[in-house]
């Protein structure tokens, strides 16, 4: 995706390359604030259909009104249920309406991409003013601002500063002469130096970089934990999921989601956050599940979701079924053995002969 950071309204392009795989069919590009892509909490940025047999495509869209943070973009192949996820850092920006005015005129300052439910003061030409602002839940605000009287014609900056946000959102503004001309007054032979640089260089806070997504799973999640193998375990089974810790960063936690939806659009069945290790155990009822994990740093920034494509099947039949079936077969076998043994112990029949005389006078037996 290009670019990967910018202000609200930034024109962005997303390039999908499936390699040898197809990316054809209907698609949607979805925007999510927290990466969960929960129904009712996401926005469709673009949608369409890709011709059959296509292996790549480019989608263009603009960044919607959002607070200052990392947000998540998902490309979804609707028919195949295939997803590609990435992130975008929304930065603060200010728009001045109109772009030029004379001293004493009232202009409107439109801010977006700021922290949500934040407040601060407007800065004019690097000097704080008594004009304040407050942002809404998506980090936007609108406030009137009067150009200070006596301001010389020329180009100035208007910005916003709060305790939670450094001023990198300044907008350029033209102060015109009282007659309406935007041509500045003639400069004196020795122009005064405005805002001389400080003796100590200012400290620039580098942009926050989200942690990388957890590496490929190692090993694959155990199909059934020890608890799930106990005799008498009906219904739910305890499954343990494991992943590799992200290298190069410390003080990271992980968030794991388990869902019956392979696209994770529906509300997850189970969610665990703040995990300090590299494994999590869940008791899962009968059904089919999918899972994903992301790394979260102490400042709240998070990596992309790492989604594993294979599914987890939780069957109702457990060890009791096999135990009962085995006992039944053993009982039948024992009955057959007893019956066979009984048949071989039956007494052998004996023929009895009685002596007698026939008419010929001979003795027979």
Same domain flag for 170 and 119: yes
The answer to whether 23 and 77 are in contact (CB under 8 A) is yes
Same domain flag for 112 and 41: no
Q: Report how far residue 229's alpha carbon sits from residue 238's, in angstroms, rounded to the nearest whole number.
A: 9
Question: Does residue 301 fall inside a structural domain?
Answer: yes
pLDDT of residue 365: 56
CATH code of 290's domain: 2.60.40.10
DSSP per residue over 211-280, as a string? PPPPBS-SSPPBSS-TGGGSTT--S-EEEEEE-BPPTT--S-EEEEEEESSTT--SPPSEEEEEE-SSEE
Q: What is the pTM of this model?
A: 0.49
pLDDT of residue 355: 59
pLDDT in tens, 322-331: 678 888 999 9
Candidates 114, 13, 8, 10; CA nearest to 65 is: 8
Strands 171-175 and 100-101: parallel
- Number of domains within the chain: 3
> What long-range pairs does 270-278 form, CB within 8 A, spacing at least 24?
278/214, 278/242, 278/243, 278/244, 278/245, 278/254
Question: Does residue 183 fall inside a structural domain?
Answer: no
Question: At residue 259, what are phi and psi to the nearest 5 degrees?
Answer: -140, 155
Candidates 92, 178, 170, 68; CA nearest to 127 is: 170
Q: Report how far residue 167's alpha carbon sits from residue 174's, in angstroms, rounded to the nearest whole number.
A: 19
pLDDT of residue 145: 94
Same domain flag for 306 and 272: yes
In the numeric block, which tokens belong to residue 224?
Answer: 């059934």
**Could you say which of 66, 90, 114 is where a domain stops?**
90
The answer to whether 171 and 262 are in contact (CB under 8 A) is no
CATH code of 105's domain: 2.60.40.1930
Question: At residue 37, what are phi and psi to the nearest 5 degrees?
Answer: 50, 45
Question: Does residue 351 fall inside a structural domain?
Answer: no
Same domain flag for 43 and 80: yes
CATH code of 29's domain: 2.70.50.50
The answer to whether 112 and 93 are in contact (CB under 8 A) is yes
Question: Does residue 344 fall inside a structural domain?
Answer: no
**Could you say which of 90, 122, 150 is where a domain stops?**
90
pLDDT of residue 309: 60
Q: What is the CA radius of gyration of the chain?
A: 38
Question: In DSSP terms, which residues pair with 279 in a beta bridge?
Answer: 242
pLDDT surpasses 80 at 337:
yes
Quote the domain boundaries for residue 77: 5-90
Task: Compute, in degrees rounded to 10, the torsion defined by CA atoms 246, 248, 250, 256.
Answer: -10
Same domain flag for 310 and 234: yes
Q: Report how far residue 281's alpha carbon sits from residue 238's, in angstroms, rounded to the nearest whole number.
A: 6
Question: Does residue 78 fall inside a structural domain?
Answer: yes
Same domain flag for 130 and 164: yes
Residue 256 to residues 81, 211, 275, 305: CA-CA distances in angstroms? 20, 15, 8, 9
pLDDT-derived band at 235 (thresholds 50, 70, 90) equals low
Same domain flag for 98 and 85: no
pLDDT in tens, 280-320: 888 887 778 888 888 887 767 777 777 766 667 766 555 56
**Could you say which of 90, 118, 136 is where a domain stops?**
90
The larger pLDDT score, comparing residue 202 to residue 59, is at 59
Same domain flag for 103 and 72: no
pLDDT of residue 29: 93
How many residues are listed for the chain in this entry? 365
Question: Does residue 213 fall inside a structural domain?
Answer: no
Same domain flag for 142 and 127: yes
The answer to whether 310 and 216 are in contact (CB under 8 A) is no
Is the peptide bond between 67 and the residue preceding it cis, with omega within 30 degrees of 0? no
pLDDT surpasses 50 at 228:
no
pLDDT surpasses 80 at 213:
no
Same domain flag for 82 and 104: no
Q: Report how far residue 228's alpha carbon sits from residue 357's, in angstroms, rounded to the nearest whole number.
A: 85
Question: Does residue 251 fall inside a structural domain?
Answer: yes
Question: At residue 262, what are phi and psi to the nearest 5 degrees?
Answer: -65, -20
Question: Does residue 268 fall inside a structural domain?
Answer: yes
């Amino acid at each position: 995706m290009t670019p990967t950071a910018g202000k609200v309204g930034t024109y962005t392009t997303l390039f999908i390359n499936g390699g040898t795989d197809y990316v054809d069919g209907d698609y949607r590009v979805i925007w999510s604030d927290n990466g969960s892509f929960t129904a009712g909490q996401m926005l469709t940025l673009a949608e369409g259909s890709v011709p059959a047999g296509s292996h790549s495509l480019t989608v263009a869209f603009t960044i919607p009104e959002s607070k200052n943070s990392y947000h998540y973009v998902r490309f979804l192949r609707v028919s195949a249920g295939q997803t590609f996820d990435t992130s975008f850092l929304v930065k603060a920006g200010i728009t001045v309406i109109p772009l030029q005015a004379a001293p004493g005129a009232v202009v409107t300052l439109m801010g977006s991409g700021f922290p949500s439910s934040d407040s601060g003061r407007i800065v004019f030409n690097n000097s704080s003013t008594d004009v304040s602002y407050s942002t809404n839940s998506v980090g936007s605000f609108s406030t009137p601002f009067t150009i200070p009287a006596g301001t010389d014609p020329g180009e100035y900056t208007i910005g916003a500063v709060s305790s939670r946000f450094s001023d990198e959102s300044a907008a350029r503004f033209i102060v015109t002469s009282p007659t309406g001309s935007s041509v500045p007054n003639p400069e004196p032979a020795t122009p005064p130096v405005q805002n001389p640089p400080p003796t100590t260089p200012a400290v620039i806070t580098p942009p926050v970089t989200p942690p990388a997504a957890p590496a490929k799973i190692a090993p694959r999640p155990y199909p059934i934990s020890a608890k799930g193998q106990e005799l008498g375990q009906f219904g739910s089974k305890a499954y343990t999921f494991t992943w590799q810790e992200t290298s190069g960063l410390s003080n990271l936690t992980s968030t794991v989601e388990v869902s019956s939806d392979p696209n994770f659009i529906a509300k997850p069945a189970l969610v665990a956050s703040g995990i300090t290790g590299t494994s999590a155990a869940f008791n899962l009822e009968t059904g089919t599940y999918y899972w994903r994990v992301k790394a979260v740093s102490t400042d709240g920034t998070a990596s992309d979701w790492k989604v594993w494509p294979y599914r987890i099947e939780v069957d109702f039949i457990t060890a009791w079924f096999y135990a009962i079936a085995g006992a039944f077969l053993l009982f039948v076998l024992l009955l057959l053995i007893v019956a066979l043994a009984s048949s071989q112990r039956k007494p052998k029949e004996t023929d009895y002969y009685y002596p007698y005389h026939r008419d010929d006078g001979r003795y027979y037996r």
